[in-house]
Structure 1
Amino acid sequence: MITKEQFQTIVPDVSWKFIEPYLGIYEEVLEKYEINTPLRKAHFLAQISHESGSFRFVIENLNYSAKALFAVFRKYFPTLAAAELCARQPEKIANKVYSSRMGNGDEASGEGWKYRGRGLIQLTGKDNYKAFSADTGQDFVANPDLVTQPEWALSSACWFWKKRKINQFADADDIHMVTKRINGGFNGLEHRQHFLDEYKRLYNIE
């Protein structure tokens, strides 16, 4: 078990107050999803540290400016004027961007907002909430905010990791493929590598 002193000394970029709720449960949860070697744990913790803003965020921030919407979601906001209509309105943004896909209903259904990203690796879309519910016996479809609780924020990230068969790339110490499976590309690779180096020191991996 990692101690508070080890963690604070070796992984200083993650605040103890954010990681503390997870350290009492993470060994058991990770084992359940076969994230059960030092190298697998190092890769997993590096990725979720990056994805969650060092464990600070367990729900998607959709408070985009018009310029950000136009840059990130140009498919849905083809002009800056179109983006202005939804800027700084997270619920409206989610319902537009996530409508009629990932199992969600149309924009008017409100399911884009209801099933926005939650957890340490942003579980998103009604289909994923259904699948996660089926595998755990919890009803996240009716109660999606449960995924923000530490046990389920962590479990949903582990579930995604196993579903995407990421252990094989962690075993090969291939941060590029691990990141691609998580992110779809290589966004934030340098930051992920920084965390990986820290977690490798924590687990005494040469």
Structure 2
Amino acid sequence: QIEKAGCVTKIQQAMFLAQCGHESAGFSVFIENLNYSDYALTQYFRKYFDALTAKKYARKPEQIANRVYANRMGNGDEESGDGWRYRGRGIIQITGKKNYIAFRNWLGRDFALHEMAEDLDLAVSAAVWYWQTNELASLASVEKVTVRINGGTNGLADRVALYRKLMA
């Protein structure tokens, strides 16, 4: 399926595999882990958590998801539960109601949300869709691809190391 993502060269394939490998913890985790400590919340999600708020949300994954993913990516507000419902799944961690709907339309069939974390073919298809839709195969920089996937540079060192290993 990797060719469907536009990954035809070794560089493009290594980039795809490195990013997906990082996002899925070495292809072992297909659902987003949001079980953060208060300290981690203030580091990774500064925009949403000051020290006091982080203490209230620490180690409450569902509440964390609903806060950080509220009112964006097609999700409703914090109370809607969309943040948790549409948290990251698959080998590239597709996130947000808008992305889930777009992926379903691209795939041409419906599926239960939990299937993206349980069905390897679906988890890979979601990554292919994301890569293709966001035209990531044309980017030749691990950092640029990371920002497009992650919104920042979280895990950049690991992504670079995976990419270099795949290119060796």
- TM-score, normalised to structure 1, is 0.74
Tell me the secondary structure at the aligned position of residue 99 of structure 1: coil
Aligned match of 2:114: 145
Q: Distance in 1 between matches of 2:53 and 2:153?
A: 29
RMSD: 1.8
Aligned match of 2:150: 183
Aligned match of 1:86: 57
Q: Percent identity?
A: 49
Q: Which residue type is aligned with residue 63 of structure 2?
A: K
Q: Distance in 1 between matches of 2:54 and 2:26?
A: 30
| Equivalent residue in structure 2 for 1:59, among 31, 48, 51 | 31
Residues 91 and 176 from structure 1, CA distance in 2 versus in 1: closer, same or farther, beyond 3 angstroms? Answer: closer
Number of residue pairs matched by the alignment: 167
Tell me the secondary structure at the aligned position of residue 128 of structure 1: helix
Is the counterpart of residue 131 in structure 1 residue 116 in structure 2? no
Residues 33 and 111 from structure 1, CA distance in 2 versus in 1: closer, same or farther, beyond 3 angstroms? Answer: same
Q: Deviations over 1:156-204 (max 9, x none)?
A: 111111112111124xxx3333333333343333322222222223xxx
**Which residues of structure 1 form unaligned runs of 5+?**
1-28, 202-206
Tell me the secondary structure at the aligned position of residue 139 of structure 2: helix
Q: Which residue type is aligned with residue 55 of structure 2?
A: E
How far has the Cα of 1:86 moved from its partner? 1.6
Larger Rg: 1
Q: Deviations over 1:40-96 (max 9, x none)?
A: 211111111122111121111010111222222232223x22222221111111112
How far has the Cα of 1:127 moved from its partner? 0.5
- TM-score, normalised to structure 2, is 0.89
Tell me the secondary structure at the aligned position of residue 77 of structure 1: coil
Aligned match of 1:169: 139
Q: Distance in 2 between matches of 1:94 and 1:178?
A: 23
- Counterpart contact for 2:66–2:78, Cα < 8 Å: yes
Is the counterpart of residue 71 in structure 1 residue 43 in structure 2? yes
How far has the Cα of 1:126 moved from its partner? 0.4
Tell me the secondary structure at the aligned position of residue 85 of structure 1: helix
Residues 69 and 197 from structure 1, CA distance in 2 versus in 1: closer, same or farther, beyond 3 angstroms? Answer: closer
